[in-house]
């Protein structure tokens, strides 16, 4: 009886003819899984873009809505400059057009692999736009996915231009200005000049006063009103009547006017105090070229871009032979910074694509997380 039960149990474990046939037949091909979302799309945010099918459009109002701290912006810029200084950035010299006198249209391409930032910024600087009631500076940034090349964002570059230049200056000031700097002077109160007010305050803990000057006096007054009382600490912001007034006694000086092929420098080297840091975003438009020759240290953000502009008729004086190096290499600790309090240091920062594209990536990620902007089909 036991033998019969064991035989029956063994037989029950044998597969049926149908089951045996099914085992030998390949399983049906499963339906394809949806393609994984690329790293270029921010996960967990309110916007979930389909790579290759959609992009995010951010106009000026959208970008202005995003919450930022000055220190956060400066940190992104510091990362971009460090990557540049380490040679981990693809950043060819941009192409520039000069449609008319004192007018510039530039392209600024860059790829910064370590932060997945890739794209190009188009920026225009037309000095005569104020006569038309238009901003002097305008532009767009196109952000792409570095793995596929598909566009993921089209971003108004007004905020980028207004914040990137001041943030680069802030990084330079944090490394090159005297730590006890109490007075700053700003010449030029457009979007770049105004943006330097919070940027300098964020990196100069002992700063007490900022003097601002613009050939268009209402611009200086507006810059003063716009930031007065909005700093984390008490800062005296004062509009002055002349460029010389802004320079007098200042430890940190900023010139943010406009590039010109026929500059008329208003400031002579003897007007710049010992130990000052000069941050010129407009090359030789404000400060006499002799200041570069007499500077103890001279830094630039891009040698290639300055030489390109010189070839187009700007900055005719060129760079002195005693150039210390590029700012990115300073951030990456490959070249020295200030070594004495009395050193007069000049830093020419006309803007590099890697900074703008890293900031564009940060804007894109934050906008996706917060659901800001308009998703467009490609």
Q: Whole-angstrom Cα distance, residue 209 to residue 246? A: 11
Q: 3-state class of 234 per DSSP?
A: coil
Range 216-240 average pLDDT? 86
For the segment 62-95, what is each residue's pLDDT rounded down to a tens digit? Answer: 999 999 988 899 999 999 999 999 999 998 877 7
Q: What is the pLDDT of residue 261?
A: 80
Which residues make beta-bridge pairs with 375? 56
What does the domain layout of the chain look like in residue ranges?
54-159+355-377, 175-352
Q: What is the pLDDT of residue 65?
A: 94
Q: Whole-angstrom Cα distance, residue 112 to residue 90? A: 7
3-state helix, strand, coil in the chain (%, to 5): 35, 20, 40
Q: What is the pLDDT of residue 41?
A: 55
Q: Is 32 a residue whose pLDDT tops 50?
A: no
Print burial letters for 137-154: b (CB count within 10 Å at least 16), e (below 16). bbbebbbbbbeeebbbbb
For the segment 248-293, what is each residue's pLDDT rounded down to a tens digit? Answer: 999 999 999 988 888 889 999 999 999 999 999 999 999 999 999 9
Q: Please determine, looking at this structure, whether the domain spanning 175-352 carries the CATH number 3.40.50.720.
A: yes
Nearest to 172 by CA among 108, 253, 292: 253
| Residue 5 DSSP code | H
CATH code for the part of the protein at 54-159+355-377? 3.30.1780.10
Per-residue pLDDT band at 33 (split at 50, 70, 90): very low
Which residues make beta-bridge pairs with 121? 108, 141
Per-residue pLDDT band at 232 (split at 50, 70, 90): confident
């Amino acid at each position: 009886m036991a033998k019969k039960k064991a035989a029956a149990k063994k037989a029950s474990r044998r597969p049926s003819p149908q089951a045996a046939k099914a085992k030998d037949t390949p399983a049906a091909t499963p339906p394809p899984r949806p393609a994984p979302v690329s790293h270029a799309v921010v996960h967990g945010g309110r916007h979930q873009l389909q790579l290759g099918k959609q992009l995010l459009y951010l106009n000026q109002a959208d970008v202005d809505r995003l919450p930022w701290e000055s220190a956060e912006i400066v940190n992104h810029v510091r990362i971009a400059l460090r990557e540049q200084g380490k040679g981990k950035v693809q950043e060819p010299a941009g192409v520039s057009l000069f449609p008319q006198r004192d007018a510039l249209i530039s392209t600024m391409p860059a790829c910064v692999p370590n932060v997945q930032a890739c794209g190009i910024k188009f920026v225009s600087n037309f000095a005569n736009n104020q006569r038309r009631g238009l901003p002097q500076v305008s532009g767009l940034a196109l952000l792409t996915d570095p793995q596929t090349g598909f566009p993921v964002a089209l971003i108004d570059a007004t905020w980028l231009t207004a914040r990137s230049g001041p943030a680069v200056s802030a990084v330079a000031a944090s490394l090159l200005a005297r730590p006890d700097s109490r007075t700053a002077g700003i010449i030029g109160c457009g979007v770049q000049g105004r943006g330097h007010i919070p940027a300098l305050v964020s990196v100069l803990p002992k700063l007490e006063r900022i003097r601002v000057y613009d050939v268009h006096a209402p611009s200086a007054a507006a810059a003063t009103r716009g930031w007065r009382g909005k700093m984390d600490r008490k800062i005296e912001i004062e509009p002055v009547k002349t460029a010389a007034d802004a320079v007098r006694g200042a430890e940190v000086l900023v010139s943010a006017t406009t590039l010109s092929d026929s500059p008329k420098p208003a400031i002579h080297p003897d007007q710049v105090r010992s130990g000052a840091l000069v941050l010129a975003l407009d090359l030789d438009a404000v400060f006499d070229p002799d200041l570069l020759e007499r500077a103890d240290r001279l830094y630039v953000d891009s040698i290639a871009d300055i030489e390109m502009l010189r070839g187009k008729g700007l900055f005719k004086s060129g760079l002195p032979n005693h150039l210390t190096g590029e700012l990115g290499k300073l951030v990456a600790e490959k070249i020295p910074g200030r070594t004495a309090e009395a050193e007069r240091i000049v830093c020419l920062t006309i803007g590099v694509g890697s900074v703008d594209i890293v900031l564009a990536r940060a804007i894109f990620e934050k906008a996706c997380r917060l659901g800001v902007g308009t998703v467009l089909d490609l």
